[in-house]
Amino acid sequence: MRTRKLIMDSFIDLSGKKEFKDITVKDITTEAMINRATFYYHFEDIYDLLHKALSEVLFVNLNCESYKNSELNIDTLSRIFIAITDFQAELSNRCHRGYEDTIARIIRVQLEIIFFNLLVRQHPNEVKEGLKHTATMLSWGLYGASISWRRNNDYVSPGEFIKTVIPYVQYGVLGNSR
């Protein structure tokens, strides 16, 4: 585990200095002071490392452990949204634009796992397939909102942005329960 973390840390350090497309396995092994065989023992290739490093960083940013005892509510959605936008801001200077699809997939998958687990805990008697679809919709929706914020609302904080959305999420588009 220590060596794996060393490799990931070396990769993250390098990604602050170079674009992903310019980082080689040799760069990583040199930075981590390990040999190529050690690298390949832990990761299939540099894309596997990218996926696992981003997933782990996102997991930490989302503070996934804190959601184990949480409910899926407005506060949780707001915290997750802010964590996603913070994660994207960290990556904006590190990853080449060509890897946005990889980053988007990692974010959506991690969100779907979090939402599904929250939904199952809150609705243990519901059909799992319905909860899975709901988790998918929530993950894509929250990710899409974070992209919209990043592209169009740099003058508004993520917290302010999500506050404008919450009434519609909480009460529905018709607003019957206000």
How confident is the model over 113-153, as pLDDT tens digits?
A: 889 989 999 999 999 999 999 999 999 999 999 888 888 86
* Residue with more model confidence, 92 or 152: 152
* Residue with more model confidence, 173 or 2: 2
| Range scoring the smallest mean pLDDT among 21-35, 87-101, 103-117, 125-139 | 87-101
What average pLDDT does this structure show over 75-104?
Answer: 76
One-letter amino acid at 24 equals T
Pick from 85, 77, 62: which is nearest to 169 by CA?
A: 77
Parse the chain into domains and list their residue ranges: 2-43, 49-171
Share of the chain above pLDDT 70, in %: 87
* Residue with more model confidence, 91 or 88: 88
Q: Give pLDDT tens digits for 46-72.
A: 989 988 888 777 777 677 666 677 788
One-letter amino acid at 63 equals N
Does 75 have pLDDT greater than 90? Answer: no
**Is the CB of residue 27 less than 8 Å from the CB of residue 12?**
no
What average pLDDT does this structure show over 79-101?
Answer: 74
Does 173 have pLDDT greater than 70? Answer: no
pLDDT at 43: 95
DSSP conformation letters of 81-122: HHHHHHHHHHHHTTS-GGGHHHHHHHHHHHHHHHHHHHHHHH
List the CATH code of the domain at 2-43.
1.10.10
Residue 14's pLDDT band (cuts 50, 70, 90): confident
* Residue with more model confidence, 173 or 168: 168
